[in-house]
């Protein structure tokens, strides 16, 4: 598997700068002088093992070894190699942080090639993350970006975050804490300004309901009922009832027309049979046609009965719809100070269907009783 160009750069950087800088750190500075010989040996061993794992393309092991070495000794060569091992695993935020640290802390003795290698790695990592530049006041505020505890302000370094939404939390004693949501884009940089407000100022800016002057003693008790706004009534029942009324009217009309058409046919057949002697007991008309006439009369009666029933249902539904419309509109216009009065509605339809024995016609009559409290 061919390795990327920067892989060889990082490895060369680790070999050359690692030998030089580790030696310089061991020989200069009071803090470095306090480092024990065993710790120096441990860091050197971890660094060499990390480079060996890097050469085997075992990036996870290289990252682990470089991270352990970096925890023992902060140096640019370890940070750069740690960043490169993270970059190869697409851990871009950690890579950017370690490349940034290496670039800032690069020794003056580092060559131009080494500096360019670190800058190139940083550029690759920054292209995959979001960069926040925080301007937070007052100084001494504790800052948390996502799960990164950045410590106290002022913060001079860029903050690298994974693309997406991130929460910047800021708190300071005596000030109101703030959690600010920031949308970080891949490969973008943005400034984030947060200024905390002192707690006393925050209290003074709270919205206070204005006092309402009244002649009523607030300590007095009244037996009057407390006015509560009542919910608006829905027009859905009225709309449904209207639909039923329309359907009933349509069905009644259709069967009325059907009954009329059938009745005309029956009348024609009756006249024809009368010319042939009629269908009475001593009539001479064919019995089969007389039976057909009787069936037609019954069919007319059925159609009329259905029409009457449909009209009754439609009428009841129409009255009910009217009541629902009136009640809903009256409810909406009713003053909230008034006590709503209970209303009731009772509809009692009665249908009497009969047929005259002589003409075998349907004698239809129906009665609709409406009662209630309005």
Please list, residue by residue across 180-192, b when 16 or more beta carbons sit within 10 angstroms of its beta carbon and e when fewer do: eebebeeeeeeeb
Boundary (domain end) residue, out of 199, 216, 247? 199
Mean pLDDT on 71-78: 93
Q: What is the pLDDT of residues 248-273, one digit of tens each?
A: 888 888 989 988 888 888 888 788 87
Residue 70 lies in a domain: yes
**Does residue 229 form part of some domain?**
no
Quote the percentage of the chain above a pLDDT of 90. Answer: 40
306: domain range?
236-373
- pLDDT band at 20; cut points 50, 70, 90: very low
Domain shared by 289 and 252, yes or no: yes
Examine residue 138 and say whether the peptide bond preceding it is cis (omega within 30 degrees of 0): yes
More confidently predicted of 232 and 157: 157
CATH number of the domain bearing residue 135: 2.60.40.1120
Residue 313 to residues 242, 279, 316, 322, 324, Cα–Cα distance (Å): 11, 38, 5, 14, 16
Q: Report the range of poorest mean pLDDT among 161-165, 196-200, 336-340.
A: 336-340
- Claim to verify: residue 137 and residue 57 sit in the same structural domain: no
181, pLDDT greater than 70? yes
Phi, psi of 343 (to 5 degrees): -120, 150
Whether the link from the prior residue into 154 is cis, omega within 30° of 0, is yes
Same domain, 91 and 134: no
C-alpha to C-alpha distance for 181 and 167, rounded to whole angstroms: 5
Alpha-carbon distance 205 to 65, whole Å? 54
269 and 292 Cβ atoms separated by less than 8 Å = yes
Query: Do residues 268 and 296 share a domain?
Result: yes
205 part of a folded domain = no
Q: Give the orientation angle of helix 5-27 with respect to helix 76-88, to 10 degrees.
A: 160
Q: Are residues 294 and 168 in the same domain?
A: no
264/357 same-domain check? yes
Residue 218 lies in a domain: no
**pLDDT for 73:** 92
Q: Are the CB atoms for 89 and 60 separated by under 8 Å?
A: yes
Q: Which of 32-46, 78-92, 249-263, 299-313 comes out lowest in average pLDDT?
A: 32-46
- Residue 230 or 26, more confident: 230
Kindly report the CATH number assigned to the domain that includes residue 121.
1.25.40.10
The residue among 85, 106, 126 that closes a domain is: 126
- Give the chain's end-to-end CA distance (angstroms, integer): 90
**Same domain for 120 and 186?**
no
Q: How many CA atoms lie within 13 A of 223 on its CB side?
A: 0
Q: Is residue 37 situated within a structural domain?
A: yes
pLDDT at position 333: 60
Q: Is the pLDDT of residue 155 over 90?
A: no
pLDDT at 362: 42
Number of domain units in the chain: 3
User: Is 209 within a domain?
Assistant: no
Q: What angle do CA 355, 366, 253 make, to 5 degrees?
A: 85
Question: How confident is residue 58, by pLDDT bands cut at 50, 70 and 90?
Answer: very high
Mean pLDDT is highest, among 26-35, 312-321, 355-364, for 312-321
Residue 344 pLDDT > 50, yes or no? Answer: yes
Mean pLDDT, the chain, as a whole number? 76
- pLDDT value, residue 241: 80
């Amino acid at each position: 598997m061919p390795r990327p160009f920067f892989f060889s750069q990082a490895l060369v950087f680790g070999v050359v700068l690692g030998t030089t800088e580790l030696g310089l750190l061991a020989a200069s500075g009071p803090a470095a002088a306090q480092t024990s010989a065993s710790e120096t040996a441990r860091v050197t061993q971890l660094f060499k093992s990390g480079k060996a794992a890097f050469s085997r393309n075992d990036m996870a092991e290289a990252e682990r070894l470089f991270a352990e070495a970096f925890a023992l000794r902060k140096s640019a060569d370890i940070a750069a190699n740690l960043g490169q091992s993270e970059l190869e695993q697409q851990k871009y935020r950690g890579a950017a942080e370690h490349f940034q640290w290496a670039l800032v802390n690069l020794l003056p003795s580092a060559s131009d090639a080494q500096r360019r290698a670190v800058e190139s790695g940083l550029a690759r990592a920054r292209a995959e993350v979001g960069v926040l530049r925080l301007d937070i006041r007052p100084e001494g505020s504790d800052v948390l970006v996502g799960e990164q505890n950045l410590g106290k302000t002022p913060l001079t370094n860029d903050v690298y975050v994974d693309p997406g939404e991130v929460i910047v939390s800021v708190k300071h004693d005596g000030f109101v804490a703030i959690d600010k949501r920031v949308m970080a884009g891949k490969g973008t940089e943005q400034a984030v300004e947060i200024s905390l407000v002192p707690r006393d100022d925050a209290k003074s800016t709270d919205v206070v309901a204005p006092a309402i002057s009244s002649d009523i003693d607030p300590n007095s008790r009244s037996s009057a009922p407390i006015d509560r706004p009542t919910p608006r009534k829905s027009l859905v029942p009225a709309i449904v009832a209207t639909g039923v009324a329309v359907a009933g009217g349509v069905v009644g009309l259709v069967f009325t027309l059907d009954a009329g058409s059938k009745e005309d046919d029956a009348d024609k057949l009756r006249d024809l049979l009368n010319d042939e002697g009629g269908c009475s007991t001593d009539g001479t008309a064919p019995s089969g046609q007389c039976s057909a006439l009787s069936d037609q009369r019954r069919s007319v009666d059925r159609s009329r009965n259905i029409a009457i029933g449909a009209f009754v249902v439609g009428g009841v539904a129409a009255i009910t719809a009217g009541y629902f419309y009136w009640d809903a509109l009256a409810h909406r216009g009713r003053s909230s100070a008034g006590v709503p009065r209970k209303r009731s509605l009772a509809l009692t339809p009665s249908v009497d269907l009969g047929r005259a024995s002589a003409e075998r016609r349907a004698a239809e009559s129906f009665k609709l009783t409406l009662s209630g409290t309005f």
